[in-house]
Amino acid sequence: MPTTKKKYNLPKGYSLLEATLKTKEFLKNPVTFIAKSMAHFGSTEYTAILGYNSKVILTKNPNFISYVLKDNNRNYEKSDFVSGRARDFLGNGLVFNNGADWLKQRRLIQPAFHRQKLKGLYGIVIQTIKEFLKTAPTGEVDVFPLVNELSFNVLINSLFDLSFSPEIKAELSQLLIDIQAFLVKDVNHPFGRLLYPFTGTERTIVKKSARLRAILLDIINDRKASTKEYCDVLDMLLNSRYEDTGEPMSEDRLIDELLVLVFAGHETTGTSLSWQLYLLANNPDVKSKLMASFEDMTIENCLNNEYFKATINEGMRLYPAAWVTERIALADDEFGDYSYPKGTLVVPFFYGLHRDENLWENATAFQPERFLKDGTLIRSKQFFPFGAGPRMCIGNHFALAEMHFFLYAFLKEFKLEATDQVPEMTPLLTLRPDKILLRISRLERRII
Ligand code: HEM
């Protein structure tokens, strides 16, 4: 009997040939390319055919994004396209995991990141920030490497409340940087893999990954042998037990999860903070209003300042560190008039959504007030800085607290001014700037 091929109604987009010809332009600047393509097809979505049975729908439609991440999340998982390779070098931690195993791990780890539990870590976060600011450079400074290093220190100190040797800390950071750089190149240029046997690139990364795991294993073993009391994430994870078996995580799994936390929490926060400083330096009115709102506030209670929360939201709206994500459809699906087959990759384009002129008035302006009603923060269904649904960022409260503490401490201690430099976005896994040059000077009177 002849079989009839099922017809799907995908958004308009690029054929295989067009997508192939445009690869170079896409890789040069994916954010600009995707935004331009959406404008070109006159829609909030477009499709790119990447091969036989390989289709990608990119979307900035908030309802479509909610549908995929939240309402029908059971039909979607992280694709092997990105996560598969990451798993080879960083293990199967939360960000890369899927299905029942992901759920089991998420349930085990989630309590460590509960807002109430995190309060126990705030002392470490604040202390790390204050120490860091003591030696922060002044003059015309590229703030991206600076705050990126700070966010690494905050994370490492909160995960492992240890006095690390600076050498080990630097090694850990460098190993992660090298593995991440490799992954980005590997995923964007899969044909380059053919050369690995000759160049030895993959062998080097395998060795670096093994070294990374060995460092973490040493930390875990030292901790297990210690009789001291700790109040860090490692301690919480060592003490957590699976609901069904009452067993703790194996050492291997613990290493996977710790690695993923550093991977997911470091550059995202560093990038967000860099853009926040840039926006504040270039919007002195907002900065003055924010500083005025700090009157009578301490670093500990600045988390309750509504104007501060709105300012941070507004920064993450304009520069969402996680500018994009991806899910693969496990079965044929439909959204609105569209229908698409199992295996279609759906890519929520948060950056485009957050700057859509049809959804945000004066979309490119930095106006924290848009997140306030009668002085209180409002929720928005078109704002996804930490994703949505069951896979929403596990570290969102941690990241927000760190951003509040850092910006408060920084603005109280330093004068911040813009320069003529206009930063470029160099989006890799996060929406990194190439550099952000700002003029920084220490205030006469130390306030904190
Ligand atoms: C401003 C900083 C941050 C931003 C913008 C951010 C953003 C995000 C987003 C958008 C997702 C969801 C991705 C998806 O749905 O595919 C996510 C997931 C995740 N984030 Fe964050 N994140 C930040 C900080 C952190 C921190 C500090 C940690 C940990 C300490 C963390 C750990 C994770 C983990 C483990 C996941 C995976 C959750 C899962 O799949 O179950 N993130 N993050």
Domain containing residue 217: CATH number: 1.10.630.10
Determine whether the shortest distance from the Cβ of 83 to ligand 1 is under 6 A.
Answer: no
Residue 264 CA, ligand 1 centroid: distance in Å? 6
Please report the pLDDT score of residue 323 as a whole number: 97
**Which portions of the chain are predicted below pLDDT 70?**
1-6, 445-448
* Nearest CA, atom 26, ligand 1: 265
In a domain, 2, yes or no: no
* Nearest CA, atom 15, ligand 1: 387
Please report the pLDDT score of residue 440 as a whole number: 97
Residue 149 CA, ligand 1 centroid: distance in Å? 18
In a domain, 447, yes or no: no
Reading the block at residue 95, the tokens are 């960000």
Please tell me the number of Cα atoms within 13 Å of 295 on its side-chain side. Answer: 4
Residue 159 CA, ligand 1 centroid: distance in Å? 15
Please report the pLDDT score of residue 51 as a whole number: 85
* Nearest CA, atom 6, ligand 1: 386
In a domain, 6, yes or no: no
Please report the DSSP string for 13-52 in residue order.
Answer: EE-HHHHHHTHHHHHH-HHHHHHHHHHHHTSSEEEEEEET
In a domain, 8, yes or no: no
Residue 430 CA, ligand 1 centroid: distance in Å? 11
What's the CA gap between 100 and 110, in Å, rounded?
Answer: 15
In a domain, 7, yes or no: no
Cα angle 22, 24, 28; round to 5: 120
Residue 387 CA, ligand 1 centroid: distance in Å? 8
In a domain, 355, yes or no: yes
Reading the block at residue 21, the tokens are 């010809």
Residue 69 CA, closest ligand 1 atom number: 15
Residue range(s) defining the domain that contains residue 107? 13-442
* Nearest CA, atom 5, ligand 1: 321
Model-level pTM greater than 0.75? Answer: yes
User: Closest Cα partner for 430 from 272, 210, 206?
Assistant: 272
* Nearest CA, atom 11, ligand 1: 393
Determine whether the shortest distance from the Cβ of 49 to ligand 1 is under 6 A.
Answer: no
Quick: pLDDT tens for 386-397.
999 999 999 999
Please tell me the number of Cα atoms within 13 Å of 264 on its side-chain side. Answer: 25
- Total domains in the chain come to 1
In a domain, 5, yes or no: no
Residue 102 CA, closest ligand 1 atom number: 41
Amino acid at 376: T
Please report the pLDDT score of residue 55 as a whole number: 95
Determine whether the shortest distance from the Cβ of 317 to ligand 1 is under 6 A.
Answer: no
Residue 350 CA, ligand 1 centroid: distance in Å? 14
Please report the pLDDT score of residue 211 as a whole number: 95
Residue 95 CA, ligand 1 centroid: distance in Å? 8
In a domain, 1, yes or no: no
